[in-house]
Structure 1
Amino acid sequence: MNTRVNDPLRVPESELTQLGVKAFQGLGLSLADAQDVCRILIMADLFGLSTHGLSRVESYGERLLIKGINPDARVKVERLAPAMVRVDGDNGVGPLVGLRALEAAMQVAGECGIGIAFARGSNHFGPISPYSLMAAEAGFASIIGSNATTTIAPWGGTDARLGNSPLGFGVPNPGGAPFLLDMAMSVVARAKIRNAFKRGESIPATWATDKQGLPTSDPAQALDGFLLPIGGHKGYGLALLVDLFAGLLSNAAYLTHVKSWVDAPDEPQNLGHFFILINTRLLGSTTWLTERMNDFAAILHGSPAAEDGKPVLVPGEIELAKMKDQRENGIHMLADVMALLHKHAANAPV
């Protein structure tokens, strides 16, 4: 039977982890740093978020090779107050900086009941849900955000001045599935528009505008224009709030001060992130939280489905189900991504 060149493959998690670590070692990272980066990216792939998983070895790798990202970053953590830390990423790979900031926030939240980490000097750090899940598994509720390269015009404006900044929330459930909400500020990701353009398809006029700031159903015009925020002006305000926390308060770049990794791949982006954690173990017993979380989900699941075969879901359920399947049966990976991983892995130290 013939297969297409880039048909997805099923790769065991352990095998993919080993390959990913070697690939990032081949790009100049230490073994420990490569392991931490892959911890985040492989979890993204397990969730089915393949655009933010190991496929990022392409964009991260290009910048690592020309030192637009520092492969030998020395991430520093500074305690500003009992429950507040500042993290300087030294222009390191985003998932490495993100994981260090999460760990720092968990440490102070474990001591103080609540903790916040502000990170600067970072890059694209993958999706938020892996960080939220790790926090939830350790007993922390979380609010996490990052700023991003500008792709959205101010509400009513005609040029890109704010990023499609992701925001996520997590609440642990010691005896069941945690609540995990991970969302960007645009109606859809830019990748969906690119895919529609490649297929020669139109897009809904609610997705993006042309370069004059007017809604368009033409993906070519949309790619030359701007993404539309969720909820209109309300989403615009929410995107600004994320950038205020992740960029401005973190002493990172913000709005148009953020460098484009496409237009200036050899320059530091200085992205910022924030991690706000609440130690739920101080609020009550694990039994108490489990009972309340399971009842919370049951109330939602009990709503009759509007469409047969599409029951009400709690955010995070789809991703966790994909994780379970792929841990048992292998992770879906595109052949071209595997080839690029092998290419970089060949340069890893023996």
Structure 2
Amino acid sequence: MNTSVAEKRVQLESELLELGAKAFEGLGLLPKDARDVARILVTADLFGLSTHGLSRVESYGERLSVGGINARPDIKVEQRAPAIVSVDGDNGVGPLVGMRALEAAMEMAKQTGVGIAFARGSNHFGPVSPYSLIAAEAGFASIIGSNATTTIAPWGGSDARLGNSPVGFGVPNPGGKPFLLDMAISVAARAKIRNALKRGELIPDTWATDKGGRTTTDPAAALDGFLLPIGGHKGYGLALLVDLFAGLLSGAAYLTHVKSWVDAPDEPQNLGHFFILIDTRRLGSTGWLTERMNDFAAILHASPPAEASRPVLVPGEIELNNLARHRRDGLALDPAVLTLLEEYAAKA
């Protein structure tokens, strides 16, 4: 493909969804499964989270190609209690397992007011916020998390024993923007450290440690070392809690039992996720919730900004504004990502 042409290609959400679905069909997924994976990844791109969007077709595709991920899993949902289900992902693509777990949790929440799904046998499931948005648009408040490959040392330790496990929260607003908070547990992502190394820049000493566990401003040493958790020992505790829910309670791998997809791309990771949903319609009418959510946001927005050019924001507003803009104007993918998607789609 001509790169100069690819750089100018702005595509609408429907076109991205179609291309993403065809690409994953080309990688062996069934059409419905491929559409569900594309839905999560395209939403990430529309949010502005390009590192967790359709660009993931490269890493997912590599593992699908070598059998490290099962292209056609037999995902099983087992009810454990009136509001609790277990989901066996059968080593499927993470966003597919995530969608099945989310759907199961929503179904439980419709029946009982609260729904909890614990998923195992999964892989990297993308960012949390697309799931939170789907839940919020259906009227559910949510707490969602996943464990991950080890990149963080225990507080005071000197080797990687826990992952940068993401966790997210969502609260619907039927007449406005929902609250969406999606965060990893490290201060900075490894991608930011790699970019600093490429630019020849130092990094803050709060981002990472060297391989001996000592804080560093050298990005090369940081990449050989470990990420630092947010909030020091408090972030360390939060990362462990996410892994306890996502990994240990789900029956998935946890801590150092999680396989690295870099070191062992052909082996199942057995990642775990959890989805805790609350049906807000059991608490009051949509009008009641809209009024309270809009008032909640208004109180925060009314705070005079410390810098006039940076008004106070509620978590999720940046992503939702990006979503609205990209749905209106379209989105141009990185040309290399577009080329790879088209190559896989051609095999469908």
TM-score by length of 2: 0.98
- CA drift at 1:10: 2.5
Are the counterparts in 1 of residues 6 and 338 from structure 2 also a CA contact under 8 Å? Answer: no
Q: Distance in 1 between matches of 2:274 and 2:332?
A: 30
Aligned to 2:106: 106
- CA drift at 1:5: 9.5
Aligned to 2:291: 291
SS of 1:333 mapped into structure 2: coil
After superposition, the Cα gap between the structure-2 partners of 1:6 and 1:22, relative to the gap in structure 1 and judged at 3 Å, is: closer
Q: Distance in 1 between matches of 2:278 and 2:8?
A: 39
Residue type matched to 1:66 in 2?
Answer: V
- CA drift at 1:16: 1.4
Aligned to 1:344: 344
Q: Distance in 2 between matches of 1:307 and 1:137?
A: 33
- Counterparts of 1:32-181 in structure 2 under 5 Å? 32-181=32-181
Q: Distance in 1 between matches of 2:40 and 2:187?
A: 24
Q: Distance in 2 between matches of 1:104 and 1:143?
A: 14
Q: Deviations over 1:142-181 (max 9, x none)?
A: 0000000000000010000000000000000000000000
Q: Distance in 2 between matches of 1:54 and 1:276?
A: 26
Are the counterparts in 2 of residues 33 and 96 from structure 1 also a CA contact under 8 Å? Answer: yes
Q: Distance in 2 between matches of 1:281 and 1:274?
A: 22
Number of residue equivalences? 346
The yes-or-no answer on 1:332 pairing with 2:336 is no
Residue type matched to 2:108 in 1?
Answer: V
Q: Deviations over 1:217-270 (max 9, x none)?
A: 111110000000000000000000000000000000000000000000000000
Q: Distance in 2 between matches of 1:92 and 1:302?
A: 46
Residue type matched to 2:143 in 1?
Answer: I
Aligned to 1:209: 209
Are the counterparts in 1 of residues 7 and 332 from structure 2 also a CA contact under 8 Å? Answer: no
Aligned to 1:239: 239
Aligned to 2:254: 254
Residue type matched to 1:206 in 2?
Answer: T
SS of 2:180 mapped into structure 1: strand
Are the counterparts in 1 of residues 304 and 311 from structure 2 also a CA contact under 8 Å? Answer: yes
After superposition, the Cα gap between the structure-2 partners of 1:160 and 1:173, relative to the gap in structure 1 and judged at 3 Å, is: same
TM-score by length of 1: 0.97
Q: Distance in 2 between matches of 1:5 and 1:195?
A: 26
Aligned to 1:224: 224
SS of 1:332 mapped into structure 2: coil
Q: Distance in 2 between matches of 1:106 and 1:134?
A: 10
Residue type matched to 1:196 in 2?
Answer: A
Q: Distance in 2 between matches of 1:332 and 1:158?
A: 42
After superposition, the Cα gap between the structure-2 partners of 1:342 and 1:31, relative to the gap in structure 1 and judged at 3 Å, is: same
Q: Distance in 2 between matches of 1:78 and 1:293?
A: 35
Q: Distance in 2 between matches of 1:200 and 1:100?
A: 43
Unaligned runs of 5+ in 1: none
Q: Distance in 1 between matches of 2:15 and 2:249?
A: 40
SS of 2:133 mapped into structure 1: helix
Q: Distance in 2 between matches of 1:120 and 1:244?
A: 12
Q: Distance in 2 between matches of 1:186 and 1:332?
A: 29
- CA drift at 1:198: 1.5
Structure 1 residue ranges (4+ consecutive) displaced by more than 2 angstroms after TM superposition = 3-10
Q: Distance in 1 between matches of 2:169 and 2:125?
A: 16
Aligned to 2:14: 14
Q: Deviations over 1:73-131 (max 9, x none)?
A: 11110000110000000000000000000000000011001110000000000000000
Q: Distance in 1 between matches of 2:132 and 2:116?
A: 14
SS of 2:168 mapped into structure 1: strand
- CA drift at 1:9: 4.7
Identity %: 76
SS of 2:148 mapped into structure 1: coil
Aligned to 2:310: 310
SS of 1:331 mapped into structure 2: coil
Residue type matched to 1:189 in 2?
Answer: A
- CA drift at 1:4: 7.3
Are the counterparts in 2 of residues 326 and 332 from structure 1 also a CA contact under 8 Å? Answer: no
Aligned to 1:186: 186
Are the counterparts in 1 of residues 41 and 53 from structure 2 also a CA contact under 8 Å? Answer: yes
Q: Distance in 2 between matches of 1:332 and 1:186?
A: 29
Aligned to 2:263: 263
Q: Distance in 2 between matches of 1:182 and 1:8?
A: 31
SS of 1:174 mapped into structure 2: coil
Q: Distance in 1 between matches of 2:9 and 2:200?
A: 26
Q: What RMSD, in angstroms, separates the aligned Cα atoms of the two structures?
A: 1.2
- CA drift at 1:6: 8.5
